[in-house]
Amino acid sequence: MMQNVLNGLARLCVSSSRNVLIQNVPEKSLSTFVNIGHYHQQYRFINKHAYQTEPGWKAFGNKWMVKFPEQYTIKKLRLEKLAGRDPLTGKRVVGGLGGGHKKKYRWVDNCRHGPKEGPPLVEKILQIQYDPCRSARIALIAGGDKARYIIATTSMKVGDLISTSGHIPRIAIRPKEGDAHPLGALPVGTEICCVEKYVGEGSSIAVVAGSRAFLVRKVGDRCIVQMPSKQELSLKQECMATVGRVSNEEHSSHHIGSAQRLRWLGFRPRSGLWHRKDGRHGRKIRPLPPLKVIDTRKVEVESAASLTVGAIC
């Protein structure tokens, strides 16, 4: 009994002395100490990369971060892997991520905006490339003195000309795959991809490999779009969309083949993790949600405080 009490007091003294050591050591010399606990590892991660202080960094979930320059460029950008850690705190919040082959980020322009009056913007496809940071193929296009990356569709080929227009005519146009038009200019039943959810913010619907959406009907100045999940969205007719289907539609049917390939892709072993229920008494099939109307993004405005001065009697 006495031996257990003495062991407990010894552990308490060691832990308290370790905390005092960490608090009294300056920040610059903290990296010279080894095996001083989890707090040292977390602090070193934040201090090494300094994501909070350097401008231009943008996090893509908890997988990687990219440093964007001030102006658009087609050069390959620097990419830092997060390995499932939060970009602000450095704590590990997602398991199963880490490692993988070295890669560079290609800046894809999701905003295909053309002139609302006059002839459309015509660009030529220079290359169809593989992008390690996304499942779809990307196309390098150029028009005039500008070049940019866009998400490629299935029938895009090198040397083709694609057009981008923001005009909405009275009668629907005849769509051509690869061209970008507002939803109000396309006929009902058109197969589309890379659809804008909010006007001017870039495409965010049907942008992964093999995905597509359909323009099912028009109601006034609204366009009803059926997403790949069969849910319907009511969007403004000014939202831009690309005609066709996203390239690399065989992506979902590819077989991984080995555990080592998953490590190359940046995924760690998943043994012992949570598994979705399946079988007869597992996941239930429920009806689709009702039509969702999307108008404009809501911006919270702080109410100004009013001060009143009372008369002093």
pLDDT at position 59 is: 84
Q: How many domains does the chain have?
A: 2
**Percent of the residues in the chain that have a pLDDT greater than 90, as a whole number:** 50
Residue 288 lies in a domain: no
Q: What is the Cα–Cα distance from 55 to 57, expressed in whole angstroms?
A: 6
Residues 95 and 173 in one domain: no
Residues 76 and 136 in one domain: no
Residue 282 lies in a domain: no
Domain of 125 in residue numbering reads as: 121-248
Residue 143 lies in a domain: yes
Looking at the DSSP bridge assignments, the partners of residue 213 are 192
Checking if the pLDDT of 176 tops 90, the result is yes
Closest alpha carbon to 206 in 184, 188, 233: 233
Residues 101 and 206 in one domain: no
Identify the domain boundary among 248, 265, 289.
248
Regarding predicted confidence, which is higher, 235 or 6?
235
Residues 126 and 243 in one domain: yes
Using pLDDT thresholds of 50, 70 and 90, give the confidence band for residue 175: very high
Residue 4 lies in a domain: no
Using pLDDT thresholds of 50, 70 and 90, give the confidence band for residue 27: very low
In the β-sheet with 161-164, what is the strand arrangement from edge to edge? 146-151, 138-143, 121-129, 161-164, 180-182, 240-243, 191-193, 213-219, 222-226, 232-236, 292-293
Rg (CA), the chain: 27
Residue 169 lies in a domain: yes
Identify the domain boundary among 225, 248, 271.
248
pTM, rounded to two decimals? 0.72
Residues 99 and 152 in one domain: no
Mean pLDDT of 142-161: 94
Residues 56 and 139 in one domain: no
Mean pLDDT of 72-90: 89
Residues 143 and 193 in one domain: yes
Residue 209 lies in a domain: yes
Each residue of 98-120: b (16+ CB within 10 Å) or e? Answer: bebeeeebbbbbbebbbeeeeeb
Residues 136 and 55 in one domain: no
Tokens of 215: 């323009």
Q: What is the Cα–Cα distance from 172 to 183, expressed in whole angstroms?
A: 10
Residue 177 lies in a domain: yes
Tokens of 151: 């998400």
Tokens of 27: 């920040």
Mean pLDDT of 134-147: 94
Residues 87 and 125 in one domain: no
Mean pLDDT of 209-225: 94
Residue 125 is which amino acid?
I
Using pLDDT thresholds of 50, 70 and 90, give the confidence band for residue 304: low
Residues 128 and 87 in one domain: no
Residue 26 lies in a domain: no
Which residue has 């500008």 as its token pair?
Answer: 146
For the ranges 29-38, 215-224, 279-288, which has the lowest average pLDDT? Answer: 29-38
